[in-house]
Chain A
Amino acid sequence: MKDTLNKILKIDRRWLFLLLSLSILIPIIKPIGISSSSISSSVQNMYDFIEKIPAGSTVFLGIDYDPSTAPELHPQATAVMKHLFKKNIKVVILTFIAGSGGLMDELVRTIPPQYGKVYGKDYVVLPYMPNFTAVLTQMASDMYAIYDKDINNKPLKDYEMMKNIKNYKDFAASIDITGTALLDGAWLPLVGDKYNLPILGGVTAISQVGLGPYLQKKQIKGLIGGMKGASEYERLTNEQAKATSGIDALNIAHLLVIFFIIFSNIILLVLKFI
């Protein structure tokens, strides 16, 4: 008995890997299809905030993630961008993450046409800049000193939507979807707290928990966290897409983790008494 239990505890971990793979793979092929009705408060706040931004206002949308966090954050960015365009809000898209290139490009190629949005009139894309501290500090006085050209190397100032835009005072909010600490480590201290520009964002599930203090103090006005947050935002905006099917596929895998923790601890407990 003791030997068997010990053996079970020391099982080749590749079996665990296989189980995990199947638990995610099978629901991808055959979705479970249970929907959840809950919306977390920070996602609701984010949605409400964007709903209240007057049409014609301009916001920043930071696409600050790379492939390593894209499965969580790409659906968030997609849902938020759609919401902004639906509300006829003008969007200045920018990034400080080197690996975001192709992902940002995909968003910009696919989403604006769906809403009949025109480049330069409804949205612009800024080129990648390596140093966020310098850029965020600079944009407080005159953003064109650092972004004189857009991503297509054309003078940024000449675009119709940029006519009356000079610095943070001309923006309604900044929304940063990021897989790093850019939201709480850059946009918030360098822009939000200093120049009172409302800061919102989307982060990985890992970062989400650590942002609690900023949400409580309302330094961050709204937040989407991980795949779950993205699926909630998709539901709020009525655009069920990748995150909804993603969270569905994660059901069994989560239960598997819970089961493994409890199961292995029970075995240990039993081993103690025999």
Chain B
Amino acid sequence: MELSLVLGAWVAAGMTLFIFSFLYKDNPFYRAAEHLYVGVGMAWFIQLYTYSVIIPKVYKPLVDTIKAGDWVNMWLVLIPTVLGLSLITQFIPKISWISRYGFTFLMGYGAGLILPAGLATDFMNQIVGTIEPFANFFSLSAGAMINAIIILIGTLSVLFYFFFSVEHKGAIKKVSAFGVYFLMIYFGASFGNTVMARFSLLYGRFDTLVKYSKGEYFYATNWIILGLLIYFICEKIFFKAVKLKKT
């Protein structure tokens, strides 16, 4: 096996186990890995934006248009660049107001774009989806009829629960209480699926650790676990738990 892969396995197994070691108790290995993650993650983003946007969409077009004397196209790149750079003034209190130009551009565009799209997808279409089955209700199967009625009642009662800010009394109280049941089913279903989602991630890590525990990787997982065990035992016996204050 290639050296880089073996080295990679040791690094990956180390990072994984250092973070898991927190589950036993807080310790310097976890702290180091956690901080490393912050730095690595940030660097990953920075390099990506640099290589996928800043260089090909800003730097190169600017250089090319200036060289060619193509002023119109130069301005078309320069304007968003200046707007983008204006955001950085956030860090200089005296001139931080300049960043408003960048932000207003982003906010205006975003709000104008999302408003109609959101209304169509999450408002209009959902209302249509609720009443649509009733258009040809009697051609539906018995099961589909019942489902259509349940969805209608459920949607309406949840809306009642949300929208009537008046005191919930009498009929409204009953309807909105019904809405709570539908919400509970939704939350329960979400919980059930969250269990699977979280466990899948854990499976992913364990699966990798098992892979790295094999001979071809020189038993990376096993050795690192052993090292951590020795650390925790030593810590308990020789030192009176290194006190780690939260940073």
Q: Assuming the A-B contacts A28-B207, A189-B120, A227-B196, are A149 and B56 also in contact, with contact meaning beta carbons closer than 8 angstroms in the complex? A: yes
**Interface residue stretch chosen among A55-63, A82-90, A115-123, A200-208:** A200-208
Q: Do the beta carbons of B206 and A28 come within 8 Å of each other?
A: yes
Residues of A with C-beta under 8 A to B207: 28, 71, 246, 249
Q: Do the beta carbons of B126 and A213 come within 8 Å of each other?
A: yes
Chain A CB within 10 A, most for which of B56, B129, B197? B197
Residues of A with C-beta under 8 A to B110: 133
Interface string of A118-153 (1 = CB under 8 A from B): 000000000111100110010000000000010001
The smallest beta-carbon distance between B240 and chain A, in angstroms, is: 20
Q: Do the beta carbons of A189 and B23 come within 8 Å of each other?
A: no
The smallest beta-carbon distance between A106 and chain B, in angstroms, is: 13
10 pairs, CB–CB < 8 Å, chain A vs chain B? A14-B24, A17-B23, A69-B201, A71-B205, A71-B207, A128-B48, A205-B200, A213-B129, A217-B129, A225-B193
CB-CB contacts below 8 Å: B13-70 with A: 23-24, 41, 44-45, 48-49, 52-53, 56
In the A-B complex, the 5 residue pairs with the closest CB atoms = A71-B204, A217-B129, A189-B117, A189-B121, A205-B193
Q: Assuming the A-B contacts A28-B206, A189-B117, are A206 and B53 also in contact, with contact meaning beta carbons closer than 8 angstroms in the complex? A: no
Check: A24 CB closer than 8 A to any chain B CB: yes
Residues of B with C-beta under 8 A to A249: 203, 206-207
Residues of B with C-beta under 8 A to A68: 201
Q: Assuming the A-B contacts A17-B23, A205-B193, are A193 and B206 also in contact, with contact meaning beta carbons closer than 8 angstroms in the complex? A: no
Residues of B with C-beta under 8 A to A210: 186, 190
- A213 and B195 CA atoms in complex are apart in Å by 22
Check: B114 CB closer than 8 A to any chain A CB: yes
Interface string of A238-274 (1 = CB under 8 A from B): 0000000010011001100100000000000000000
The smallest beta-carbon distance between A266 and chain B, in angstroms, is: 19
Check: B149 CB closer than 8 A to any chain A CB: no
Q: Do the beta carbons of A129 and B129 come within 8 Å of each other?
A: no
- A153 and B207 CA atoms in complex are apart in Å by 36
Given contacts A99-B41, A249-B207, 5 further A-B contacts (CB under 8 A): A24-B199, A71-B205, A134-B109, A210-B190, A226-B196
Check: A232 CB closer than 8 A to any chain B CB: no
Check: A173 CB closer than 8 A to any chain B CB: no
Check: B11 CB closer than 8 A to any chain A CB: no
Query: Which range holds the interface residue count of chain B?
Result: 35 or more
Check: A29 CB closer than 8 A to any chain B CB: yes
Q: Assuming the A-B contacts A14-B24, A210-B190, are A188 and B197 also in contact, with contact meaning beta carbons closer than 8 angstroms in the complex? A: no
CB-CB contacts below 8 Å: A2-34 with B: 14, 17, 20-21, 24-25, 28-29
Residues of A with C-beta under 8 A to B206: 21, 24-25, 28, 249
- A24 and B206 CA atoms in complex are apart in Å by 8
Interface string of A218-239 (1 = CB under 8 A from B): 0100000111100000000000
Residues of A with C-beta under 8 A to B126: 213, 217
Check: B72 CB closer than 8 A to any chain A CB: no
Check: A216 CB closer than 8 A to any chain B CB: yes
Check: B113 CB closer than 8 A to any chain A CB: yes
Check: B128 CB closer than 8 A to any chain A CB: yes
The smallest beta-carbon distance between B239 and chain A, in angstroms, is: 21
Q: Assuming the A-B contacts A189-B121, A227-B200, A254-B195, are A153 and B45 also in contact, with contact meaning beta carbons closer than 8 angstroms in the complex? A: no
